[in-house]
């Protein structure tokens, strides 16, 4: 984007700014609620109110049962002589078993050989027993194929849609117990992940029948790419434009009454995304401080940016973030440039939108943590996030690469989520590409990764650098399956198959951590022009 000069340029700039503001104002729906928090839906039903994503449940926990190999082997699969079944009963192999109330929020599987994803075996069936009754019994291709309600797009994806991964995001609730099994899979080379949100109480939980109303969930995930996911407008919006010189910092919005920011749009030249820093302060604490390229999920080089439900860039290179960002006392949005870099001022247009009501008292403050390494240390994982107090992890952008040569062994590492100082991770995966919804290095039937972009997960870029090294950029949002913690969390990515491969890593973790809610105060500070 060039700098503006003259009357015609000023008029063009005014039109583009109006368009930017209109993108935030035209979200449709009924008027926003009055100055009070709305009732909180169940933790997996965030489609009923996106602001509920910031709420940190008390007494719940999120767990994952996967085909991770516990004895250090690299295959992480079930096979005849290398079982990942909890137990077998004839032709039935149990993958997941739970007692007490909860809901399965995500099921991922892949199957294949020769290094690429292949079709699921129609002779292998999945059986899900809810509160002692068989609720689902289908061949695996039918379960993920998208033609058997309620397992239909966009709530399910097969391997051709998700670059090797088969995924179900249909919530399967249970009040007393749940068992997930495979039938006829004794010799199948299958990898799997099953994520469940365990509830502190079963009050109000209706066991899964397949007749649930999931229209809101389907609508949220089935919208246009980069479309505004918030209903309930029009919302209060502040907008303006600035020119950032080297070594300058500008406050583009400041608020001092409890509220929730639910839209942040920036427009600036693409070649300056690395050189402008975004700072977000909530209740006086710096919760985000990083280049806009990192925060909005832009890979290096000429990578395609993320285009997810809650953050990314549009076709017109407008950067957007639709995370709910609560605050109880104050919020400040700042942009800054360092003293080095290209000369000249950077033109920036911005719009900041709020819900117009106080957040729920159990909401956490939004944050984003970046971590980068030019070469990780063998034997040590890449640390994605470490936090204390109560919190939940809702998203990750990652750009990983090899140190030498074109091997993509950096995708072999597992994510590990250690909660509340426990001896073992509550969530441990089966490979980086599996975490991001793909399979077999994102390869489908043939060698070579296939990029894809969906609302909650994707692989935006796989490239070979000038020196012959490989780089892959990926993202994932966790709405109904967000890991939560009560006292502390440590989130790591293994580096290579057994954590011994030096890799290049750049990650941004999006999360919420608890904050006390003070008494409401009057809004005495209007958004100010920098």
The DSSP line for 366-431 is: EEEEEEEESSPPTTSPEEEEEEESSEEEEEEEEEEEESSSS--GGGGPPEEEEETT-SS-SEE-S-
Q: Residue 399: left (phi > 0), alpha (psi -120 to 50), or beta?
A: beta
> DSSP class of residue 479?
S
In whole angstroms, what is the distance from residue 165 CA to residue 481 CA?
A: 17
Going across the sheet that includes 249-255, the strands are 249-255, 331-337, 276-282, 285-291
Cβ proximity of 505 and 371 under 8 Å: yes
Series of mean pLDDT values for 10-residue runs along the chain (530 residues): 37 52 52 52 93 95 92 72 86 95 98 89 98 98 97 97 97 98 92 97 93 96 94 91 96 97 97 95 97 92 87 96 97 94 92 96 96 94 96 97 93 95 94 96 90 96 92 96 96 91 96 67 32
In whole angstroms, what is the distance from residue 43 CA to residue 47 CA?
A: 10
Q: What is the pLDDT of residue 23?
A: 60
Q: What is the pLDDT of residue 109?
A: 98
What's the whole-model pTM score?
0.92
Q: What is the pLDDT of residue 20?
A: 61
In whole angstroms, what is the distance from residue 308 CA to residue 54 CA?
A: 18
Q: What is the pLDDT of residue 34?
A: 39
In whole angstroms, what is the distance from residue 442 CA to residue 161 CA?
A: 11
For the stretch 271-276, contacts whose Cβ atoms lie closer than 8 Å and that sit 24 or more positions apart, written own/partner, are 272/342, 272/346, 273/298, 273/319, 275/337, 275/338, 275/341, 275/342, 275/346, 276/244, 276/335, 276/336, 276/337, 276/346, 276/348
Write out the two tokens for 370: 């970046």
Write out the two tokens for 263: 């839209």
Q: What is the pLDDT of residue 22?
A: 66
Q: What is the pLDDT of residue 231?
A: 87
In whole angstroms, what is the distance from residue 149 CA to residue 138 CA?
A: 12
Q: Which of 274, 293, 502 is nearest to 401 (CA)?
A: 502
């Amino acid at each position: 984007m060039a700098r503006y000069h003259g009357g015609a340029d000023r008029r063009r700039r005014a039109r583009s700014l109006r368009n930017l503001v209109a993108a935030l104002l035209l979200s449709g729906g009924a008027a926003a609620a009055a100055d009070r928090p709305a009732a909180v839906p169940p933790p997996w039903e965030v489609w009923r109110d996106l602001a509920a994503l910031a709420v940190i449940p008390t007494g719940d926990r999120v767990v994952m049962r996967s085909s991770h190999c516990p004895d250090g082997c690299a295959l992480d699969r079930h096979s005849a002589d290398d079982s990942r079944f909890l137990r077998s009963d004839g032709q039935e192999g149990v993958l997941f078993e739970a007692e007490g109330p909860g809901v399965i929020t995500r099921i991922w599987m892949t199957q294949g050989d020769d290094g690429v994803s292949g079709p699921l075996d129609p002779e292998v069936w999945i059986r899900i027993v809810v509160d002692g009754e068989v609720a689902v019994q289908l061949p695996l291709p039918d379960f993920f194929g998208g033609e058997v309600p309620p397992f239909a797009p966009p709530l399910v994806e097969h391997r051709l849609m998700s670059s090797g991964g088969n995924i179900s995001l249909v919530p399967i609730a249970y009040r007393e117990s749940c068992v997930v099994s495979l039938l006829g899979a004794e010799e199948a080379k299958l990898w799997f992940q099953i994520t469940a949100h365990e509830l502190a109480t079963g009050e109000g939980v209706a066991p899964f029948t397949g007749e649930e109303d999931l229209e809101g969930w389907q609508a949220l995930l089935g919208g246009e790419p980069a479309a505004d996911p918030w209903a309930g407008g029009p919302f209060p919006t502040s907008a303006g434009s600035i020119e950032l010189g080297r070594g300058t910092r500008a406050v583009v919005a400041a608020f001092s009454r409890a509220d929730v920011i639910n839209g942040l749009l920036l427009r600036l030249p693409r070649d300056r995304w690395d050189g402008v820093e975004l700072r977000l302060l909530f209740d006086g604490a710096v919760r985000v401080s990083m280049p806009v390229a990192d925060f909005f999920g832009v890979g290096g080089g000429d990578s395609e940016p993320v285009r997810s439900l809650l953050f990314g860039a549009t076709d017109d290179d407008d950067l957007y973030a639709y995370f709910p960002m609560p605050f109880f006392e104050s919020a400040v949005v700042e942009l800054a440039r360092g003293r080095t870099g290209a000369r000249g001022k950077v033109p920036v247009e911005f719009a900041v939108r709020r819900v117009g009501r106080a957040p729920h008292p159990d909401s956490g403050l939004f944050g984003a943590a970046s971590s980068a390494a030019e070469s990780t240390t063998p034997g040590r994982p890449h640390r994605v996030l470490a936090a204390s107090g109560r919190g939940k992890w809702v998203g990750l952008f990652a750009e990983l690469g090899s140190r030498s040569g074109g091997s993509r062994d950096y995708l072999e590492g597992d994510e590990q989520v250690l909660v509340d100082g426990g001896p073992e991770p509550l969530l441990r995966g089966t490979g980086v590409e599996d975490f991001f919804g793909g399979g077999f290095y994102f390869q489908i039937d043939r060698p070579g990764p296939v990029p894809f972009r969906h609302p909650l997960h994707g692989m935006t870029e796989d490239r070979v650098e000038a020196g012959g090294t490989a780089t892959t950029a990926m993202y994932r949002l966790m709405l109904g399956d967000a890991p939560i913690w009560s006292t502390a969390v440590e989130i790591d990515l293994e580096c290579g198959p057994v954590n011994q491969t030096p890799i290049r890593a750049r990650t941004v973790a999006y999360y919420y951590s608890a904050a006390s809610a003070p008494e409401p105060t009057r809004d005495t500070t209007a958004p100010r022009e920098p």
